[in-house]
Structure 1
Amino acid sequence: MAVESRTDINQLLKTVPGVYIREEDGEGLRPNIGIRAAAGGRSSKITLLEDGVLIAPAPYSNPAAYYFPQVYQMHAVEVLKGAPLLRYGPQTIGGVVNLVTTPIPSETSGRIVTTMGENSEHNTHAWVGGREGGFGWLVDAVYRNSEGFKHIDRSNRDTGFDIQSYLVKFGWAGERQSLQFKAQYSEETSNETYAGLTDRDFERDANRRYGLSEIDQMDNDHQGFSLAWDFDLTSQIKLSALGYRNEFARDWFKTGIGAFVDAANAGDAEALAILHGEQDYSGLGYKHNNREYESYGLELGLDAIFGDHRLQLGVRDHSDRMDRYQPVEVYDQLDGSLVYRDTVAPTGSDNRLEGADALAFWALDQWQVTPDFRLDLALRYEDVETFRRQFATPERTDEPARRSNSTAEWLPGAAMTWDFHDRFQLLAGIHRGFAPLGGGATENDEPETSVNYELGLRHFRGDLFVELVGFLSDFENQAEVCSMASPCSNGATSGSFVTGEAVVRGIEFQFGHEWQAGKLTIPLSFNYTYSDAAISEDNPVTGVLDGDTLADIPENIFSLRLGIEHTGGWDNHFVAKYMDETCVQVGCNRNDDPFDRTESLFVLDWISRYAVTEDLTAFVRVDNLLDRQVIISRLPDGARPNKPRTGTVGLDYSF
């Protein structure tokens, strides 16, 4: 991370095998991350953690990641796959992404990284901290702003963002125990939209935005608190407790123009004229997608070593809530301008409460059977109750329509590693995966479940590392999570679309090596993932057929990173990334409709760093060096591009 000074989590994770990314805004503000069999819509099928704490706005009832921590503020990003992820949850099918914030330093020190770039972009990350005796402290801040790389028809409003994020930590460590308190606050204003383009308009100017989206804007703020306690009962037994609370409020004021875009793509001249502002239109709805979330819980853990066994036991009591109150402002388009008409108070799906209460238990045994053979046994239990209350009156004085669901699942797993040679390791694993359906589930809905397998081989030799892993996920009940950002294959924008039985299989390959040539060090890493994701049995209820390709999982992805590092302090790195075209909805392989799939993308980035002094480094980064833009996403509401070629200069100072 230090080499690239990335602000976009998408670009970091594109270099990790088994991780799928569906870009949306080109800036990584609201990433769509998938891992193995967990598709990427709003990152709702993976478990998102920050310092081991659930960080999605409502991880059980509304896991869609409309909030995502600033990766620019992170010390490290961890990706976990396979049976060991049963330690975490609730989503245990694909994987875990854990964002690790700056640790409290062992002595007083700090760091400032600042960049300036095209589109008036500015990013600064600064932290300072230290320790005195048993006490430690850290203050960490990020400020980012940009005018954006798109332009809006008939408007001088920019398409950028303004983001601030602050974090403080206080720690104390005694002889046998320690405490750490963490508090975080962030806020964002971004002139971002759901409005994409027609394919013909995209071909002419990929960075255009229709005037209908001029007033679209996201405003949000997040605050989080956690307190962690660790106690060494003996040298072999450790107790822990973690309490946490997160609050997130957002209002994404935006219009939905997907129907106009679809009609224009089909040849409707009137719909195209409305998009272009050439024809008046009455009754455009701009919704305040206004929601407030809270998430809180308590974890207790035991970590004990008994001979060749390391036993981890834990329990988590968690609750989350979402309050949706979404009025709609009505505008008319007159002579290419938007004219306010009135406001419609929220009822029905725009006025509802959802929530979940969950009790989770886990037990893991890391058994070092022999010095060369380790067996990991895991068992997780999830007991989840969800609810929805939907109101027919804005004042919520009526008796609401109610939904509820209760689910209890046992999730066993096992994994092993065998060092059968001093340079070779065999790995294998099997576990049962689970993803809750969310607050919109009805009494008879079943959660998404699967049986997941992996088998692999690793080779180590000096600076050489090679890994080949095959994976397979056999879904008993595959489901899509529906939202406005990621409508399900049946067109639904809330709840779930259960497609039934499906199989996702694939291969992950990693190669890494480092060469020395005089004063040069040349590191090279290559990652490749092949995935085959399809329905495995006809479902007469939903209409999907055996062989229908699943959405959001590309067949081929790869990344290559090449470094040229000089002992004089001048380093250059090239990062190439490729992703295949991807189905927008299940079954796109059964037709030749280009609107049902994205386009493949190859991107090359260049990063050059020079050590001015021992403490100060200057760097230049050019993203998308070849300036290639394609339809990287069709969700939401039309064709959307990746970021064009963009240059950045920066300084990295440590003290």
Structure 2
Amino acid sequence: TYTIETSYIGYRKASAEVTVGAGETVTQDFTLVQDVLLMEAVVVTGTPGGIGIEKREASFAITTIAPAEIRQLSPPSTAALLEVVPGVWSESSGGVAGANIFVRGMPSSGDAPFVTMAINGGPIYGTETLSFFEQSSIFRLDETVASTEALRGGPSAVFSNAEPGMTVNFNLKKGGEKTEGRLKYETSDYKLQRFDGYLSGKITTGLYYMVGGYWKTSPGIRDTEFNSENGRQITVQLTKLFKRGAINAYTRITDDFGQWVLPMALNTGNDLGTFTPLGNATRFRELQINRQGDTRIFDFSRGRGWKGNITGVNATLDLGSGWTARDNLTFTTGDANTFGFVPNGNPVRVKDLKATLGIDTVRTQGGQILTDSDWVQNYGHWVVLKDIQSINNDLSLNKRWSDHNLTVGLYQARWKSDDFWTLGNHIPVHNVANGDILAGITAQDVADAGGGGPWNFGLQSAGDARALAVYGADSWNITPDFRLDVGARYEWIELEYTLDTGPGYPDGSRDMAKSFDGQDFAVTAAVNYDINDEFGVFARFSDSYLFPHFDMIREGTYSLDENGNIEANEFTQFEGGIKYSASAFSFFATGFLNNVDVFDGDVGATRESALLSTQTFGVELEAAVSHEGLTVRAMGTLQNGEIKEADLAPEVVGNSIWRQPDWQFRISPSYEFVVGKSVVNLYGALRSVGKRWDSRDNNFQLDGYTKVDAGVTLSVPGGLSFGLHGDNLTDSDGLTEGDPRDPTAANGRPIFGRSVKFSVRYDF
């Protein structure tokens, strides 16, 4: 008699006892129940050295996203995928890159200072964010992604790169014994052309491959009069299995960019779902790049994006007697550039501009004469050239001993960023879609009539950092149902930064040359109790840190201890969770309380930078129910955050956390049924979010909004599938942000307007 256990990603395990006589062959059929929240999936994020643990056994909050859910969401960017993760507010309305991502009320002026992106468990850059850079900008979703894990808080504060906020890990598909693949074509009502594909299989005994990628082009939903969204990517991964271990190596080459969508004038009659000021008239700009007067013509069709390579090697070796060694190496190099057409201040009526200047006619360079009721606005051509490089390695040694699972590890990282900026460069523009530049009018003229005042800033900088950390952890099963998880980390860091600034370009004189050392300590402890096979609870405390990055040195938003060492911002988090997983219903709820020290500031902002101490408490909810062909998923976040201390801005003490809603929820039903020999899946999603404050000053609130999506897929015999997806079907103009550079300006950034995609897919 034998016990056979079967498992398949997205379904619950099943087992059966089978009795087999001598020379007999027995067939055992299994009917697997869908595991909608993937509670039985093995997650590696948040585990020491990436040893892995089943999600239902985890003492931390983690969301797992299967490829089928990604297809139903149809996210236009990596940041948009995070809309399904509780506790996260992702402002993905800026395009394919350059998102603002916030976690559990941890405040920020923008980018994603509390978010790490990883591939196969390895962080893709040494620090979470820089000015004009956050890590989702250098990762593109495609058919090579097998699964996604998003961990908030928890033990990541101790392991790997010591992320106190959220780590999003993308596991790539691996080859297997069978050759399989996919070809996919996608188009849309905004003229998208995209081809995806992957192929995987066996090379020889123990050696497997996976190769895949995509090519795409489109003018975008916000049509710029040219194809502003272009990209291509190829990923190759090899996996070698040994008798006592495995080694996995991949490389991912990307060249992908898209228009950087920025806040726009809200009350000038433009269609907020499709408007963009950028067009052929403003696509190119000649700008001065140095003190000698040299110039360069920049093409702003490239927006924000990534042209580079991410390579990784993961190895596992069973040393025997319960000892296991693991190593995870990641190397990243490339250009994460920004070409933005950025609004400056309020729009101005043409009649007011005429009155201010004492003129009778305002016309564009193309010859159009504007009416008194037309609007004009100052816009600036911003250029940020950012050459980045990062290498990190996480080496760990694990020992299973009695009821203990002990791990010690060594983490090393080196990262750099070489920057050239020219910001400001304002010109007056007719405030219509793809508006033309005004003739004979200056940006100062528009400023005199009530618009934003022109300014210029440029720099050349070089930042270099090195980090070394040791960590240790133990998971102690005190009883079969009660586990204690503890971990600690000590890190040393070196930061070097050199800066040359000037009036729109680096002026050739050194403004700053800094060198800092620092060190800090992190600790986490949790208990996990399995009440029964379906129900479990956990509680966790973490005390962690986040060191300043290069741009904080430039801005002076850092502090030194009495020995002249750079100090990290401190984080403390308390978490408690409930996990329930039954055949038809799953539920995951996590309550949290965090205390965070952060510097608030933004490039080009009118407000001064200030150190703030904040506190946020809240709850994250995930639930799923399935019955026959019907599946309903739900996600929600409730939180309340407050500024507790602000020495340089005491007037904001007591104000609410800004740019994040107090509540948000998403519900996504789907129904699958059979028609003849074909399978049809109808799905939809409703996402609703509450109001958000514009800035730390709490001047005004952005209204909440609701977004509705829906789609259908048809799978026919032979591996062919068709898909139709409608995004923002009600054509909501929901605002994700105001104007972070000037909160008093009547500008804001709405979500993209209604769009429809069609796809055809062939699996083999």
What TM-score do the two structures reach when normalised by structure 1? 0.86
Match of 2:712 in 1: 608
Match of 1:378 in 2: 487
- Are positions 1:243 and 2:364 aligned together? no
CA contact (8 A) 1:522 1:564 kept: yes
- Are positions 1:534 and 2:655 aligned together? no
Distance 1:237 1:449, change over 3 A: same
- Are positions 1:459 and 2:575 aligned together? no
> What secondary structure is seen at the aligned counterpart in 1 of 2:692?
coil
How far apart are residue 530 of structure 1 and its match?
0.4
Amino acid at match of 1:23: S
Distance 1:317 1:642, change over 3 A: same
Amino acid at match of 2:607: G
CA contact (8 A) 2:113 2:129 kept: no
- Are positions 1:508 and 2:508 aligned together? no
Mapping of residues 153-164 of structure 1, within 5 Å:
157-158=225-226, 160-164=228-232
The more displaced of 568-577 and 39-48 is: 39-48
Distance 1:455 1:280, change over 3 A: closer
Aligned match for 2:275, one of 200, 203, 208: 208
Aligned match for 2:149, one of 78, 86, 93: 78
CA distance in 2, matches of 1:91, 1:264: 51
Match of 1:344 in 2: none
> What secondary structure is seen at the aligned counterpart in 1 of 2:392?
strand
CA contact (8 A) 2:120 2:172 kept: yes
List alignment gaps of at least 5 residues for structure 2.
1-66, 284-299, 431-435, 442-455, 561-565, 742-746
CA distance in 2, matches of 1:176, 1:293: 37
Mapping of residues 71-470 of structure 1, within 5 Å:
71-73=141-143, 74-88=145-159, 90=161, 92-131=163-202, 132-151=204-223, 157-158=225-226, 160-194=228-262, 196-201=263-268, 205-210=272-277, 214-215=282-283, 216-217=300-301, 218=303, 220-234=306-320, 236-261=322-347, 278=370, 286-327=381-422, 336-337=436-437, 350-391=459-500, 398-439=509-550, 440-441=552-553, 442=558, 444=560, 446-470=567-591
Distance 1:91 1:197, change over 3 A: farther
How far apart are residue 362 of structure 1 and its match?
2.1
How far apart are residue 260 of structure 1 and its match?
4.5
> What secondary structure is seen at the aligned counterpart in 2 of 1:554?
coil
CA distance in 2, matches of 1:130, 1:331: 54
How far apart are residue 159 of structure 1 and its match?
6.2
CA contact (8 A) 2:193 2:217 kept: yes
How far apart are residue 357 of structure 1 and its match?
1.1
How far apart are residue 282 of structure 1 and its match?
13
CA distance in 2, matches of 1:320, 1:190: 25
Match of 1:479 in 2: 599
Aligned match for 2:139, one of 33, 57, 69: 69
CA distance in 1, matches of 2:633, 2:710: 15
Match of 2:683 in 1: 573
Aligned match for 1:32, one of 92, 100, 104: 100
Match of 2:28 in 1: none
1:282-302 per-residue CA deviation (whole Å, 9 max, x = no partner) reads 997533211111111222111
How far apart are residue 233 of structure 1 and its match?
0.6
Distance 1:274 1:239, change over 3 A: farther
Aligned match for 2:663, one of 556, 581, 588: 556
How far apart are residue 189 of structure 1 and its match?
3.7
1:234-291 per-residue CA deviation (whole Å, 9 max, x = no partner) reads 1521112233210121332334322345x789x9888998999959999975332111
CA distance in 2, matches of 1:235, 1:446: 42
How far apart are residue 19 of structure 1 and its match?
1.5
> What secondary structure is seen at the aligned counterpart in 1 of 2:142?
helix
CA distance in 2, matches of 1:306, 1:277: 81
CA distance in 1, matches of 2:176, 2:750: 40
CA distance in 1, matches of 2:402, 2:329: 31
Distance 1:647 1:280, change over 3 A: closer
Distance 1:283 1:373, change over 3 A: closer
1:468-525 per-residue CA deviation (whole Å, 9 max, x = no partner) reads 32110022x23336446xx5xx636xxx6421x2111001222221123xxxx11112
CA distance in 2, matches of 1:504, 1:141: 40
CA distance in 1, matches of 2:617, 2:165: 12
CA distance in 2, matches of 1:221, 1:148: 19
How far apart are residue 528 of structure 1 and its match?
1.3
CA distance in 2, matches of 1:271, 1:110: 65
CA contact (8 A) 2:211 2:235 kept: yes
How far apart are residue 2 of structure 1 and its match?
2.2
CA contact (8 A) 1:608 1:619 kept: yes
Match of 2:13 in 1: none
CA distance in 1, matches of 2:377, 2:690: 40
List alignment gaps of at least 5 residues for structure 1.
342-346
CA contact (8 A) 1:578 1:602 kept: yes
Aligned match for 2:754, one of 634, 640, 645: 645
CA contact (8 A) 1:172 1:180 kept: yes
Amino acid at match of 2:147: A
> What secondary structure is seen at the aligned counterpart in 2 of 1:85?
helix
How far apart are residue 426 of structure 1 and its match?
1.6
Distance 1:237 1:558, change over 3 A: same
CA distance in 2, matches of 1:92, 1:269: 54
CA contact (8 A) 2:196 2:213 kept: yes
The more displaced of 302-311 and 454-463 is: 454-463
The more displaced of 544-553 and 644-653 is: 544-553
CA contact (8 A) 1:404 1:443 kept: no
CA contact (8 A) 1:277 1:333 kept: no
CA distance in 2, matches of 1:643, 1:624: 8
CA contact (8 A) 1:57 1:293 kept: no
CA contact (8 A) 1:86 1:362 kept: no
CA distance in 1, matches of 2:424, 2:659: 32
